[in-house]
Structure 1
């Protein structure tokens, strides 16, 4: 019976005239019947071949019907559909928008590990000449294909650079964020990446997302661009000067006058280059100074902050603008996976398989969800609440550094829940009256489109206003001094003074003593307080701390407790320094403040 059935359909398929609608209707019914029964592989191939012939028909309706049927057939016999891949690709270039979109969805379903490279090349080549109204869909599908099937990071990076160069204005934020994460986690490709982006910028500077990735990479890896670090065999030799790198960032500030995010990232990159390219420091300062009068508050605040750092905080600038730590891939993948679930459900009816993709990063390993990377990088303006995490990644955002290798301080609580859970909201939701505010001498500057602090906070943060200590009025010590922190290598002492007419304001005089036998260099003190407390740090007296108590560093803190008499003062501190050019850090919880502060 099966054999006779095959012969029947073969005769119908060969004898029916496909140049008439009646004949096509008969063939379509044959295909539907075959696909609706438990047919042999030979019958299925016959049905799929009929659909392949439909794709060459000049009637748009017939081709659209064939594409719909083939999308169902992929799940049954993908190999038979693969034989018509060339014809399907031609449909992607069709003048009819509906056929283009449906063919693109079918191509996405046909991609596998063996054909991903030629298919991606075909799609990227067409991206260059495709209609503007199709570039968005085409770009999105190419990015999904590259992310899902890439097994090596260099190929992934190369394809994404091509997409950014040809369709960067249609690339979504999470895509170029993912590219930055990939580059951050590929140290052997960072020099290659920044050079490739520099070259792409020369011809595709109108592509916004390409510009943003270029700006970020020049800020992080500018010295690799200038010094030709990590040159691969496939690269052509090129010469880029420090001034050339600054030219790119200055051009971005000029061309993207209405794009606050891109200009903010450019200012950050310029600040970083001012430390790494000393000969360009004066030029960079002039560029940044121009934006101190910007009508955009975000740019104005950044310009004020960065100008103060360059002019008045040279002793800590190198720490402030150090390279970003390696970004957490698993955190980013977790963020993207959770945020894409709603889209998968919404699109499932029209794209049953194309959107339901498991994110697989270029190393080919799917990673579990973790803390959201977008909040750590601060690359997005998305203010959607994210799940809490018990990892230390949130402190990257607050203090610009991690806690992985930090020794515990002698004053940290030995048991129970650390008060850091309340102060810095690690692992628990933040209540409105206890959300942390951080003042730090070593904040990591990350690309951001989120609102910056108010102007007064900016000036306080960078010592742009006179110290409160210069205000008139007598100051009488009313509280005993305390040893706020002590370990085997470091002691910190606090003494307190108040103005009688301002009981909610306390001036804390901090003294740092080195208890070890090795001198400390590049010493930086950082502090975090609850939201109801305002904290202002004056510059430290030095960043060098002699060994064995033979000298001290002093620094003044001014804290304003808006809940004075109702809530006690609490503080989390972190000290970063170098011993024989080796980075060291200590941290602790100060919970022995005298009552009433």
Structure 2
């Protein structure tokens, strides 16, 4: 005979190794199988109980499924209870043998004992399949009309599963919901709110029909907030009356009041009472305030009520608890478009969260900061983000650079010069973390602004001379040197001190040579060299005095192990031959600025920037020009 459950637990805990534990469980499972084969009715419930513990340990127990069904059919309550427990734990709704227990559950729903009824309802509510729910819906409906609150609440929760599983009978319980919401029992009202919420989520068209119950819900919520609920002491948690029921009612009001001014007016007062009378010093009160804020922001609430809701989130941001601050930031991100002007008051607090030690809070704060950016604050917000970029951790810099670039590229930028200046600052501070599409977007912006070609190429040139470690800065700088190098060496540009800026063509070639010798990142040296070769061949027409030096630099790559780089250099050297003297200027002309709709998608980053040119010169079969911004 197998041992008792208590002895099994003791022997398993005494095992010192996993192999020893597996041995104990294997021996016990063998004894349990033998008992099942011998149809041992006396210890069947004990064996199933042991299987439940073995199942919790992660071992297979499928051989005990049929025994659970036998226990459920027993007339003894202890055996029936173990059988239902085993049914809900060892089986799921996809188990084939589950349909065999449908008749037993139906009989138990009609049993004279409320506890047997409760076991059947719990089993159906936990693992009921589509077929079982359809077959037993009538019995559940009958129990929902029972005067017994114990059965009424369990039947309501079971009906919630039926509503989610069976679409064609979702309206079967509509007539019973009113009595649930009018009930004064805590459990019945809580389960009624859960059932109605599930019904409205499955079929939102019922919202108008059930808005008539808003006064009942408001009255129940007001009783809990002000005078207390019936038997309130039993449901008091940390000084808050019935927080679980309050949360359920607030979620239900959120659904009923959405997109309805009339329904929202009915609940404005009680939401204000909940927001002002709930103590927020403990998590219990904070959970109610959180649900209240979400409800306020979801319905057509008054402006003053929305201000109150945002102020509650502002208090959450000042909490020392990281969880509360995270929840506040996540909520602000969800409701930022509801009333952005009110949220601007808490802008400094949100920006301070960017310096938090917890990276999850920093990421949420960055998302909210980006969402709060508009034409009135884009300069100050961008300045704060750039200051933070100086001290941000490497893991956070990529997302931070991405958000700054996205903010600058929006319609809120005051002018193109500020936009270009800011993007250059981003690339100077975190160039290795600026993504390729954003670099390409910068090049498009520069190309589309002819009046700033000289300003941009000069600024990039001197920034590159100071540092060649930032990859994005070097890549866009090389591209701009190739496209607009003539502006750099013309000598017509004037600096802030009204003195002409003079850069010799040899200085430009020296800078590109330095890039070749010391690329910003060793693992992407070939990509950088490809950009350098394209810039060099472009500079042939911008800096004709350096023709021979350019050819010499290009010859460095004609035997490169990198196939693309080798092909580029060979093609470019061919282009510098005497046969192309008449057409070279047209081929090496500036990239044409595409229409906005034609530049919607990013083009290949490493393609060479050779254009057909205005003269429409023919392409050589030996040359394969690939147009791109970089």
TM-score by length of 1: 0.55
Indicate yes or no: 2:418 matched with 1:134.
no
CA offset digits 1:211-242 (Å, max 9, x no partner): 11111111121121122445476887543221
Q: Aligned partners of 1:174, 1:274: CA distance in 2, in Å? A: 28
- Tell me, yes or no, if the aligned pair for 1:178 and 1:332 is still in contact at 8 Å: no
Using the TM superposition, give the Cα deviation of residue 95 of structure 1 relative to its aligned residue in structure 2, in angstroms. 1.6
Indicate how the Cα distance of structure 1 residues 442 and 233 shifts in structure 2: closer, same or farther if over 3 A, else same: farther
CA offset digits 1:467-509 (Å, max 9, x no partner): xxxxxxxxxxxxxxxxxxxxxxxxxxxxxxxxxxxxxxxxxxx
Q: Aligned partners of 1:322, 1:25: CA distance in 2, in Å? A: 65
Indicate how the Cα distance of structure 1 residues 317 and 215 shifts in structure 2: closer, same or farther if over 3 A, else same: farther
| More relative contact order, 1 or 2 (CA 8 Å, 6+ apart) | 1
Using the TM superposition, give the Cα deviation of residue 75 of structure 1 relative to its aligned residue in structure 2, in angstroms. 2.5
- Tell me, yes or no, if the aligned pair for 2:530 and 2:606 is still in contact at 8 Å: no
Using the TM superposition, give the Cα deviation of residue 448 of structure 1 relative to its aligned residue in structure 2, in angstroms. 8.4
Partner of residue 322 from structure 2, selected from 60, 69, 83: 60
Structure 1 vs Structure 2 CA RMSD? 3.4
Equivalent position of 1:334 in the other structure? 600
Indicate how the Cα distance of structure 1 residues 136 and 249 shifts in structure 2: closer, same or farther if over 3 A, else same: same
Indicate yes or no: 2:560 matched with 1:294.
yes
- Tell me, yes or no, if the aligned pair for 1:401 and 1:444 is still in contact at 8 Å: no
Partner of residue 620 from structure 2, selected from 439, 453, 456: 439
Q: Aligned partners of 1:181, 1:201: CA distance in 2, in Å? A: 20
Indicate how the Cα distance of structure 1 residues 291 and 320 shifts in structure 2: closer, same or farther if over 3 A, else same: farther
Using the TM superposition, give the Cα deviation of residue 67 of structure 1 relative to its aligned residue in structure 2, in angstroms. 1.1
> What SS is found at the alignment partner of 2:557?
helix
CA offset digits 1:136-187 (Å, max 9, x no partner): 1111111111111224211111111111112222222221112111111211
Indicate how the Cα distance of structure 1 residues 26 and 316 shifts in structure 2: closer, same or farther if over 3 A, else same: same
Partner of residue 613 from structure 2, selected from 397, 401, 410: 401
- Tell me, yes or no, if the aligned pair for 1:321 and 1:445 is still in contact at 8 Å: no
Equivalent position of 1:46 in the other structure? 308
- Tell me, yes or no, if the aligned pair for 2:402 and 2:434 is still in contact at 8 Å: yes
Indicate how the Cα distance of structure 1 residues 62 and 44 shifts in structure 2: closer, same or farther if over 3 A, else same: same
Higher mean displacement: 187-196 or 66-75: 66-75
Higher mean displacement: 297-306 or 174-183: 297-306
- Tell me, yes or no, if the aligned pair for 1:268 and 1:446 is still in contact at 8 Å: no
- Tell me, yes or no, if the aligned pair for 1:219 and 1:269 is still in contact at 8 Å: yes
> What SS is found at the alignment partner of 1:135?
helix
Indicate how the Cα distance of structure 1 residues 58 and 10 shifts in structure 2: closer, same or farther if over 3 A, else same: same
Indicate yes or no: 2:439 matched with 1:176.
yes
Q: Aligned partners of 1:165, 1:235: CA distance in 2, in Å? A: 25
Q: Aligned partners of 2:344, 2:585: CA distance in 1, in Å? A: 55
Higher-Rg member (1/2): 2
- Tell me, yes or no, if the aligned pair for 1:17 and 1:23 is still in contact at 8 Å: yes
Indicate yes or no: 2:368 matched with 1:102.
no
Partner of residue 155 from structure 1, selected from 406, 409, 418: 418
- Tell me, yes or no, if the aligned pair for 1:35 and 1:44 is still in contact at 8 Å: yes
- Tell me, yes or no, if the aligned pair for 2:531 and 2:606 is still in contact at 8 Å: no
Partner of residue 118 from structure 1, selected from 372, 380, 383: 380
Q: Aligned partners of 1:215, 1:223: CA distance in 2, in Å? A: 13
Q: Aligned partners of 1:3, 1:296: CA distance in 2, in Å? A: 70
Using the TM superposition, give the Cα deviation of residue 46 of structure 1 relative to its aligned residue in structure 2, in angstroms. 1.0
Higher mean displacement: 22-31 or 283-292: 22-31
- Tell me, yes or no, if the aligned pair for 2:571 and 2:622 is still in contact at 8 Å: no
Equivalent position of 2:289 in the other structure? 27
CA offset digits 1:76-119 (Å, max 9, x no partner): 22111111111111112222111111111111211111111111
Indicate yes or no: 2:515 matched with 1:249.
no
Q: Aligned partners of 1:98, 1:236: CA distance in 2, in Å? A: 49
Equivalent position of 1:205 in the other structure? 468
Higher mean displacement: 163-172 or 233-242: 233-242
Using the TM superposition, give the Cα deviation of residue 17 of structure 1 relative to its aligned residue in structure 2, in angstroms. 5.0
5+ residue gaps, structure 2: 1-217, 219-263
- Tell me, yes or no, if the aligned pair for 2:278 and 2:285 is still in contact at 8 Å: yes
5+ residue gaps, structure 1: 337-373, 383-395, 407-436, 450-597
- Tell me, yes or no, if the aligned pair for 2:424 and 2:473 is still in contact at 8 Å: yes
Equivalent position of 1:225 in the other structure? 488
Q: Aligned partners of 2:346, 2:282: CA distance in 1, in Å? A: 23
Indicate how the Cα distance of structure 1 residues 16 and 331 shifts in structure 2: closer, same or farther if over 3 A, else same: closer
Equivalent position of 2:585 in the other structure? 319
Equivalent position of 1:192 in the other structure? 455
Partner of residue 303 from structure 1, selected from 564, 569, 579: 569
> What SS is found at the alignment partner of 1:327?
coil
Indicate how the Cα distance of structure 1 residues 195 and 203 shifts in structure 2: closer, same or farther if over 3 A, else same: same
Equivalent position of 1:282 in the other structure? 548
> What SS is found at the alignment partner of 1:251?
helix
Indicate how the Cα distance of structure 1 residues 151 and 261 shifts in structure 2: closer, same or farther if over 3 A, else same: same
- Tell me, yes or no, if the aligned pair for 1:316 and 1:441 is still in contact at 8 Å: no
- Tell me, yes or no, if the aligned pair for 1:265 and 1:448 is still in contact at 8 Å: no
Equivalent position of 1:562 in the other structure? none
Q: Aligned partners of 2:324, 2:453: CA distance in 1, in Å? A: 49
> What SS is found at the alignment partner of 1:335?
coil
Using the TM superposition, give the Cα deviation of residue 7 of structure 1 relative to its aligned residue in structure 2, in angstroms. 8.0
TM-score by length of 2: 0.52
Indicate how the Cα distance of structure 1 residues 332 and 199 shifts in structure 2: closer, same or farther if over 3 A, else same: farther
Indicate yes or no: 2:349 matched with 1:87.
yes
Q: Aligned partners of 2:629, 2:517: CA distance in 1, in Å? A: 19
Using the TM superposition, give the Cα deviation of residue 134 of structure 1 relative to its aligned residue in structure 2, in angstroms. 0.6
> What SS is found at the alignment partner of 2:620?
strand
Indicate how the Cα distance of structure 1 residues 122 and 98 shifts in structure 2: closer, same or farther if over 3 A, else same: same
Using the TM superposition, give the Cα deviation of residue 400 of structure 1 relative to its aligned residue in structure 2, in angstroms. 1.1
Q: Aligned partners of 1:192, 1:151: CA distance in 2, in Å? A: 18
Q: Aligned partners of 2:623, 2:566: CA distance in 1, in Å? A: 21
Equivalent position of 1:580 in the other structure? none
Equivalent pairs, count: 364
Indicate yes or no: 2:264 matched with 1:264.
no
- Tell me, yes or no, if the aligned pair for 2:297 and 2:335 is still in contact at 8 Å: yes
